[in-house]
Structure 1
């Protein structure tokens, strides 16, 4: 069958909407009709840093939609199911076998290359192969070829077009708090960078009932959004001494927890300096695979911990559902982070993200499926 997809052919030109052919599904693959797909900074990084041999490729890895067809050996989803698509994993290596799919031994090959592990792709433009398995989905398209293991089945009574970011960006921020840090009710936390991931972390802190939630950013509009969503204090790091203000807010002790969504050396140092002893900083920011940072080992020696987090330490089949349950209970209003754009305006959406006009842009595809309890 054929589908319409946004194809990246070069970093210096807009994405092009093209008609692509989709090959027959393999035994554990799933064809999903996309209803919504978020724009993540990982997508932007690939566009900006595209190298020879990486294109043409269809990006997008925060998809949600309706299952149209399944491979011969798929057992967990069926045509008509509503699903959120998350990162891909092999479900067979030692880490996957012990419940750590975010540390799958094949994570890079399954998620960042844009092809199956054997190097093939389900998409093509005439005789030209098009990479179509970015994070096991390539969901900037009307249809995505996903895999049984990275489909999370969800209820039909939910706003399906908005759920895609739960599979990556929102999962990353909220998971860093709820899965990695596990803050106790009444505890204190500082969140460095309140874009979409940082605000998701803030929502996680609110859901965890932290009593002191400090948002740090250089944009006042983002800090205002953070206050609206539950921050008890805000610090503009462009004009204020972050460490001094955190110490002031916490009565000289420092915060018990931090989330670093930036990963710049100065920011990460400040995050550690803001901690009391003991205290834990979870870093989720990404500044490239090579990002050397110099730290004062003394900050760690006296009981402070720095931990790296990927995909919010989340098992999507469990954590996506947990976030949805919190949302339904009125405790996780992730939809307040989202602005939608018709898929045909994908380049406008990308420009809006680059300008910082939106927190989380989500591309929508036609009329959402009718909601009905199931």
Structure 2
């Protein structure tokens, strides 16, 4: 069928909505009518060619919608089901078996390269393929093909436009705190960056019972929101933060912050790298101080969680009022995707979410 999709023609290009043709779902795929899709910083990284994506391409990896049809290999999902879509993984490697699919060795081909199996459908412009299957979905479109492993069924009473960001940004911040670091009551944490990932980490730190939650950002309106969500102190520069902290999470992707951040760690403290970093960054670290104090630096992808297990936990927190997503989200018509991306890049909006329905 024909769909409307936001295509980026070449690296650094604009998001242009045009008519493409989408295949029926094959293999383990589902055809999902996209109701809403969050705009994530990684979408801009891919747009700019800083990740190995196949141009021209359709991005968008925080999709939410309603299943329209399923491929022959799909079990347990049916037309009419409301779903959230997250990243894709193989389901068979040690990382997937350990419920940490973000570290799947097939993460790059399945989520950035848009690799499709012979029995899987994709997107077409006339007789030519358009890069799709990005993060197993390419959800900047009125319909998308997802996979059984990266789809989570949700109750139909839930607001899809608010919960769409659970598929990436929110699960990354919250998962880093709750699943990877396992922050305990009474511990301290500093979060660098007050975007969607950082503010999700703030909410999760409050859920965990941390007694000191510091938040760093350049934008004072984001810091104000951070305090509302649970931050106990805020700062606009790293030298304003007084250590030690049991945990520090970097969501900024700015390598220059990492060396000084290590110096703010307590003994046996952990610095979690949850940002998107430039190629080959050089980070000076005092190895002796790391060794003698038992400090650690760890990388975190997608919060280190299994979406099919963790998204239901996040929904429980949302229902209980502990994860007020509505304070982060601003919605935009799909036709205003360029404005939504600009507002995200400038920091004017925490989490833009595109609404597709009027374009369907």
TM-score, structure 1 normalization: 0.91
Q: Give 1:77's aligned residue.
A: 77
Deviation at 1:118, TM superposition (A): 5.9
Superimposed CA distance per residue, residues 264-285 of structure 1 (whole angstroms, 9 cap, x where no aligned partner): 2331122211111121111101
The structure 1 residue matched to 2:286, chosen from 296, 301, 324, is: 296
The structure 2 residue matched to 1:264, chosen from 249, 254, 268, is: 254
Counterpart Cα distance in 2 of 1:246 and 1:141:
45
SS at match of 2:96: helix
Counterpart Cα distance in 2 of 1:51 and 1:40:
14
Counterpart Cα distance in 2 of 1:52 and 1:25:
25
Q: 1:88 to 1:289 in 2, by over 3 A?
A: farther
Q: 1:103 to 1:50 in 2, by over 3 A?
A: closer
Structure 2: tracts of 5 or more residues without a match: none
Q: Give 1:217's aligned residue.
A: 217
Deviation at 1:94, TM superposition (A): 3.0
Task: Note if 1:354 corresponds to 2:345.
Answer: yes
TM-score, structure 2 normalization: 0.95
1:337-352 matches, cutoff 5 A:
337-352=328-343
Off by >4 Å, runs of 4+ in structure 1? 50-53, 117-121
SS at match of 1:163: helix
Counterpart Cα distance in 2 of 1:147 and 1:94:
20
1:30-45 matches, cutoff 5 A:
30-45=30-45
User: Is the CA contact (8 Å cut-off) linking 2:26 and 2:120 kept in structure 1?
Assistant: no
CA RMSD of aligned residues (A): 1.9
Deviation at 1:173, TM superposition (A): 0.7
Q: Give 2:99's aligned residue.
A: 99
User: Is the CA contact (8 Å cut-off) linking 2:25 and 2:121 kept in structure 1?
Assistant: no
Deviation at 1:54, TM superposition (A): 2.6
Deviation at 1:289, TM superposition (A): 4.1
1:279-318 matches, cutoff 5 A:
279-301=269-291, 302-318=293-309
SS at match of 2:225: helix
